[in-house]
């Protein structure tokens, strides 16, 4: 993943090119997961994605760090990722947030995201640790 000039361009999986989400310019959006009070997913991604696409977003993030991503198990992550990708229907790229407290967690999440058809990954630093720049680089390259 590279953003050497603060452009918002994030390099994605090999062969996927780059995605320009223009972070900070209100074009990229991590949608919230529509949940019931009991925590079950509701059929709300379709209308939510349609609403934000009508507003001009240039990409979506599923299961990112600003939402419920860290609270989802792999089955729930799959449901969120598949719902967002299906609702986007190829009109904008969909990145998937991956992370956790260890690289192996991020790798499992990354594999799942790519199996589901994600356009790229938004890799978070391991939670609750303070890696050195070299360790963080190894983490991101591994994922």
Task: Tell me how long the chain is.
Answer: 143
Quote the DSSP letter at residue 70.
Answer: G
pLDDT of residue 41: 64
3-state DSSP call for residue 60?
A: strand
d(CA 40, CA 16): 33
pLDDT of residue 17: 41
pLDDT < 50: residue spans in the chain: 1-27
pLDDT of residue 4: 41
d(CA 49, CA 88): 7
CB 92 within 8 A of CB 111: no
pLDDT of residue 42: 61
This prediction has a pTM of 0.75
Say how far residue 38 (Cα) sits from the centre of its chain: 24
pLDDT of residue 136: 87
CB 106 within 8 A of CB 139: yes
């Amino acid at each position: 993943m590279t953003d050497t000039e603060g452009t918002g361009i994030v390099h994605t999986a090999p062969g996927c090119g780059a995605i320009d989400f223009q972070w900070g310019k209100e074009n990229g959006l991590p949608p919230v997961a529509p949940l019931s009070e009991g925590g079950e997913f509701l059929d709300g991604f379709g209308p939510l994605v349609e609403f934000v696409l009508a507003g001009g977003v240039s990409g979506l993030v599923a299961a990112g760090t600003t939402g419920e991503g860290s609270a989802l198990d792999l089955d729930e992550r799959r449901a969120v990722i598949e719902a967002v990708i299906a609702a986007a229907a190829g009109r904008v790229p969909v990145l998937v947030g991956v992370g956790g407290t260890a690289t192996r967690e991020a790798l499992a999440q990354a594999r799942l995201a790519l199996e589901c058809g994600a356009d790229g990954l938004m890799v978070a630093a391991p939670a609750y640790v303070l890696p050195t720049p070299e360790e963080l680089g190894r983490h991101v390259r591994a994922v």
